Amino acid sequence: MNTKRSTMVRLTATYTVLIVVVAAILYPLLWAIGASFNPGNSLVSTTMIPSNPTLSHYVELFTSNRVLYLQWYINSMKIGLITMILTLIMVSFTGYAFSRFRFKGRKNGLMLFLLLQMIPQFSALIAIFVLAQMLGLINSHLALILIYAGGQIPMNTYLMKGYLDSIPKDLDESARIDGASHFRIFLQIIMPLAKPILAVVAINSFTGPLGDFILASVIVRSPEMYTLPIGLYNLVADPMGASYTTFAAGALLIAIPVTILFLIVQKQFVSGLTQGGTKG
């Protein structure tokens, strides 16, 4: 009886915590959805569901002359996709090298990657700005892509290396006996088995640039080069009149490509999170 009662107490406590966490996540999201359909420019409302819902804010995003939302969206998608592709390529090679080869400086390299991940990118803003200015990359998407892709390498390499360590090396040895080169083993044997961790890296490297404001605001200058975070920020910082409801509508649309990508790689993503990094 005591065992049954203790089990009920644990279940009740667990579900209570889960309900509180879900409510804390969903409440601001639902409020933002309601605000995006709310007439006017204010987020202040007596009800979460607007009494007179309107699509005018969504229409304004794509028709207003002062809001280059579609251009900002294209800019962010371009930067995010290119960053994701570059990160996948670089992290796949670095993770494979650290997992399968033994070379001088290997352990120090892994430790360096871990230390670099602990240092936030914005702590090097001055150095990044000066370097971008010297290379003529101010107001350039190329600068953002290089910064984002480079910043994704340390932690994702650690994740990739940990996952590849869980793949038996007997597969490599069998392939080498059959005359396969390291590159062929990497491409045809290891990478197909590493789809789960590749999905994790893809999600991380794609969503990172979409939510970055600090680095993008340092590099990008002209409105037509803005990414979504900068453009949306200007909607609420506009001295001519902040438009919080239009901001809410624009922010919600950012979730569409992220959701689509997550649905595509959902199974691999969950498997990669549970299996990646289990071995050092």
Residue 59 has a pLDDT of 85
Whether residue 144 has pLDDT greater than 50: yes
Say which CATH topology domain 66-275 has: MetI-like fold (1.10.3720)
Full-model pTM: 0.82
Give per-residue pLDDT as tens, 49-81.
777 788 888 888 888 777 788 999 999 999 999
Residue 241 has a pLDDT of 62
CA-to-CA distance for 234 and 229, rounded, in angstroms? 9
Geometric angle at alpha carbon 167, from 166 and 168, rounded to 5°: 110
Select from 31, 26, 42, 108 the least CA-distant residue to 242: 42
Cβ-contact 253, 210 below 8 angstroms = no
Give per-residue pLDDT as tens, 204-248.
899 988 888 888 998 998 989 999 999 888 888 776 666 778 888
CA-to-CA distance for 43 and 58, rounded, in angstroms? 15
Instruction: Note the Cα 89 to chain centre separation in Å.
Output: 16
Q: Could you tell me the two tokens for 185?
A: 């083993």
Q: Could you tell me the two tokens for 201?
A: 């890296």
Residue 270 has a pLDDT of 60
Cβ-contact 165, 128 below 8 angstroms = no
Select from 113, 101, 111 the least CA-distant residue to 157: 113
- pLDDT: is 178 or 94 the higher one? 94
Type of residue numbered 223: P
Domains of the chain, by residue range, sit at 2-58, 66-275
Cβ-contact 35, 45 below 8 angstroms = yes
CA-to-CA distance for 211 and 207, rounded, in angstroms? 7
